[in-house]
Structure 1
């Protein structure tokens, strides 16, 4: 996938998430199934991981620097995202924050030279930087599909 396609995919999720302002607050917080996340949790999860990418990956890729040593506790990040989604922040505020953070991520991706996307991903010589971001897009789309199914079910 080219840099432009990666950016288009990241932007398309902004437009789609913005459309979620129309759903009810009940549906926004309603879990997909017993003990699972709801839509609010997923949007907060997107924000958390976009911030992680901005801080710990994209700026280092842009400057062609080694990634910082970061202890990534996926469960803790996801739990904090869910807690944040249910902290009293409104649906509109959470969506607005997602849009702001995702636009920042896109802006930084746009600054990375096209050829960088075909270079090896640091620490994983069998994966390119472009392939890494394709994996992030697949992650976005998996969660988007969960949300779409949940909305249709309700």
Structure 2
């Protein structure tokens, strides 16, 4: 149970991080992470949309013992461009709420999965295998990558 809780804590840490970004003005949220990079707002939208995708294609199917439809054939570039554009149309408050909701859906679903299933081998739509523990670690690593970028952009702003 310790490993499962550790992973769930790492996965839910994004909620606190993004909630704390609420103190910054909208202009800070529009700060690019670097030259030719997304803004903070666009990165948050990117994280929200990936949360939805992972929940629908992988996590919910694992919980309901349904086929996993996550596919490496999906057009990631188009997906990310769409997520970034969507984020720019949202207020920072709406993005904080959406991120909290999407990540809570993931962590609640993961909480319902018995720990012994975290080491079970699953297969995506192409037959590529993974464990739930690996999958959660990948989500947390992706979060950490982007939160480090955001923190650095805010420090420079």
TM-score, normalized by length of structure 1? Answer: 0.91
The answer on 1:45 being equivalent to 2:46 is: yes
Q: CA deviation at 1:131?
A: 1.0
Q: What residue in structure 1 maps to residue 121 of structure 2?
A: 120
Runs of 4+ in 1 over 2 A off after TM superposition: 63-66, 68-71
Q: What residue in structure 1 maps to residue 82 of structure 2?
A: 80
Tell me how far apart the structure 1 counterparts of residues 27 and 70 of structure 2 sit (CA, whole Å): 40
Q: What residue in structure 2 maps to residue 133 of structure 1?
A: 136
Q: CA deviation at 1:68?
A: 2.5
TM-score, normalized by length of structure 2? Answer: 0.89
Q: Of the candidates 144, 149, 152, which is equivalent to residue 146 of structure 1?
A: 149
Q: Deviations over 1:106-147 (max 9, x none)?
A: 11111111111011131334x422112101110110000000
Tell me how far apart the structure 2 counterparts of residues 42 and 129 of structure 1 sit (CA, whole Å): 24
